[in-house]
Structure 1
Amino acid sequence: MQQISKILESLKQESNFRELFVQIHNGKHIYKNNKKLLNLASNNYLCANDFVDEFLDSKLFSDNLHFSSSSSRSLSGSFSVFFEFEEYLSEVFNKESLLFNSGYHANVGIVSALASLDNVLFVVDKSIHASVIDGLKGFKKTNFKRYLHNDMESLEIILQDSSKYEAVFVVSEGLFSMEGDFAKLQELVSLKKKYKNMYLYIDEAHSIGIVGRSGLGLSHYYELLDEIDILILTFGKAISSFGACVLCHGEFRDYFINKARSLIYSTALPPLSVAMSYFVFKKLESMQDRREHLSDISKYLKDSLKQLPYEIMGDYNIISIVLKENKKAVHFQKMLEERGYYLPAIKEPTIPKNKALLRISLCSNFGYEELSLFVRDIIEIDNEYLS
């Protein structure tokens, strides 16, 4: 089609064309065209896949050796391990739990179900996950507004004019996936106490596993779980598995079972994946040494990158170098690849136009020496670019 051809050509001209390639993974390295690269783009934050052999020797594995559920949960795909894991999560977080196929499925299904209600308002952080926005876009009648990223004054201006709504759902991430900063959770809770029709929806996709001594996320760390109405956890990052869950009040859970289309009309997760997530969750508390090392190397890298003449974002293990221009970000990506690093440029629509960046995602198996070499190399690339 001529329209499609024009769109693709425009993306190429704007240095914003995406392609897929075969990836071979080996620990913290990735092979691209047979070239070994340090993988700085993985969300496998705790390297929990180290426990696969232990999992394979466990009763959880032997009892759940099913590679497909072969049906949605509302039909014949609701295996016992789903309920066992949900019960475990409910006990840990003191909320009702419901599994979804991914964080995307969870947010799209839950947000669109809530957005179909009358007289509700969604107020979302400008840097919220795309899946939340996609859930809202499905309903043109939905009232939703965005507040400036992590800006509580901007949020409260909207809340001051929201008394006409039965419910106002304020949506934030726990650890933001691009900026790498933490939500101002205590301030959000203070606003909730002030505005009685406000419900707090927190997506902890990137903070579960790596935050707090037990690894149970930001809400648990601040002891604010009782104030969070809807809590999203995902298993494809620090948990090294697949899937997601929502933790919420029982009435919400029943509503999502009946109205979240991404749950109702999807083949349920493979029981084997659910069992692996369950297995890793039970080991989180014992992984504190990995969390401490991750924290230490994250601080080291961010401090070291301050030598660059760019904005460096990130409070923890997601550290972004803001280069602004697509062409420049792609150039850095290619030069880093030549030197042995895999670090794809992040461009629109993932982030706003003219804010292209390099997003460094640190995992607990990285060492100081290789990060020091990375800093040296990227500084040299920048000097060459400017000369």
Structure 2
Amino acid sequence: MNNVQSQIAQTLECLKRDSNYRVLVPQKHKGFQITRFTNPTNKNPQWLLNLASNDYLGLASDESFNAMFLDSTLFKENLYFSSSSSRLLSGNFEIYAQLESHLSHTFGKQALIFNSGFHANLGALGALNSLKNVLFIADKSIHASHIDGLKSFQTTHLKRFSHNDMQRLEQFLRDNAPKYEAIFILSEGLFSMEGDFAPIRTLVTLKQQFDNVYLYLDEAHSIGSFGKDGLGVCADFGLLDSIDFLVLTFGKALASMGACVLCNGIFYEYFVNFSRALIYSTALPPLNIARSLFSFLELANLNNQRANLARLSEDFKALLIKNLDLEVLGDYNIISLILGDNAKAVHFAKKLEQRGYFAPAIKSPTIPKNRACLRFSLSANLPFETLESLVPILKKIDYEYLSKNK
């Protein structure tokens, strides 16, 4: 083993000691259940309730919804399994223009489609980061893709404020607005780990006090699943006109794949010419884009699913708070049970799996150290009884863990 391999081996051993080692396990899905082939010799593994999916409306496994798509003109006219090229060469199929036109009309901004939410943030922020004399001010809980987009240039000027700390953000803005050509505030509509909402109205109010401040908001976990007709937090609050960059992803509540950045025309042109994640990626297959458009067209018809999701989330969180002496976070479809260290979170996840529940431990660097948790990602089609029966199991695991580790 050479020096590089030895260094890697030591790093991996450290991850194992810290209960932070990751592996890929083959899976099968059936509705809201999942089975994992952790032991290759076990041909009949246990089916588990899947509490780790971002299929918030249950559309990915909804047979009637999928049948509607398969019977649609959108499906039949876009039956290509590969685009075979980047969008700037021969991969820009007509369906791309149809979806972007629909999104632009719906949200009042020009839409640019990317291959994923990660690509969208990597591409848009990487391009903005190449501008001269700009500053990024980011909530500490933003997604890793935002940070990776900013890391694409070594000259990044970045300041971070504690999660949803508007006082600190305001101070950063007042201290730095005169020094920079532009400041970009980075936040999320519904945060992927804490499960809480950004104070959108306050963000907009602060931004509007300065001529050179822009607001970049990622609605990956709220588009489709939240608000009137599922159009997300900003639309629900009537604040779309005040958001300069709006990121929507299609692989969660919309049960498809891809993402878009919505912005004004000059930034759209800039991203087309300077976003490396767009320019140098083979475009998504037309079939995926057609599925995304189909989902957006159906959003207004899914209010019952959103109502179910809201009720399920509220009732489940109330049960957790009532029965467990642990911190519980989450304002909507993402509920996090804070456990502290990685080992405890892994212990809980393993015990739950033995009892028929799949809720993987969320650990650093995804979240800060000593904030490891179980993240329950809820779906509108989950039977509440299954969540209700989970609570006494969690209570028992917690009691046993505390007794063992006194």
Work out the CA distance in 2 between the residues paired with 1:55 and 1:32. 29
Match among 236, 243, 251 for residue 221 of structure 1:
236
Match of 2:375 in 1: 359
Matching of residue 32 in structure 1 with residue 48 in structure 2: no
Distance 1:63 1:114 in 2: 36
The 3-state SS of whatever aligns with 1:263 is helix
Partner of 2:150: 136
TM-score, length basis structure 2:
0.95
> Which 4+ residue blocks in structure 1 deviate beyond 4 angstroms?
none
Q: Distance in 1 between matches of 2:67 and 2:8?
A: 46
Match of 1:245 in 2: 260
Alignment of 1:1-387 (within 5 A): 1-33=5-37, 34-49=45-60, 50=62, 51-162=65-176, 163-306=178-321, 307-387=323-403
Q: Deviations over 1:269-317 (max 9, x none)?
A: 1100000000010000110001011000101110100121111000011
Distance 1:213 1:367 in 2: 24
Q: How far off its partner does 1:338 sit? A: 0.4
SS at match of 2:252: coil
| Residues 150-205 of structure 1, C-alpha deviations (whole Å, 9 max, x = no match) | 11001011001122111100010000000000010000010011122110000000
| Structure 2 unmatched ranges of 5 or more | 38-44
Aligned equivalents of 2:393 and 2:222: distance in 1?
29
Q: Secondary structure at the match of 1:279?
A: helix
Deviation readout 1:96-127 (Å, 9 max, x if unpaired): 01100000000011101000000110001000
Number of residue pairs matched?
Answer: 387
| One-letter amino acid matched to 1:364 | A
> How far did 1:218 drift?
0.5
SS of the residue corresponding to residue 161 of structure 1 reads: helix
In the TM superposition, residue 213 of structure 1 has moved relative to its aligned partner by 2.1
The separation in 1 between residues aligned to 2:376 and 2:384, in whole angstroms, is 15
The one-letter code matched in structure 1 to 2:217 is: I
The AA in structure 2 aligned to 1:328 is K
| 2:287 counterpart SS class | helix
Q: Which amino acid aligns with 2:139?
A: D
- Which amino acid is 2:128 matched to? L
Report how far residue 207 of structure 1 moved: 0.5
SS at match of 1:283: helix
Structure 1: which 5+ residue stretches go unaligned? none
* Pairwise CA distance, 1:386: 1.7
Partner SS, residue 309 of structure 1: coil
**How far apart are residue 142 of structure 1 and its match?**
1.4
Alpha-carbon distance in 2 for matches of 1:75, 1:226: 33
Task: State percent identity of aligned pairs.
Answer: 56
SS in structure 2 of the partner of residue 282 of structure 1: helix
Q: TM-score, normalised by structure 1?
A: 0.99
Matches of 1:59 and 1:361 in 2, distance apart?
33
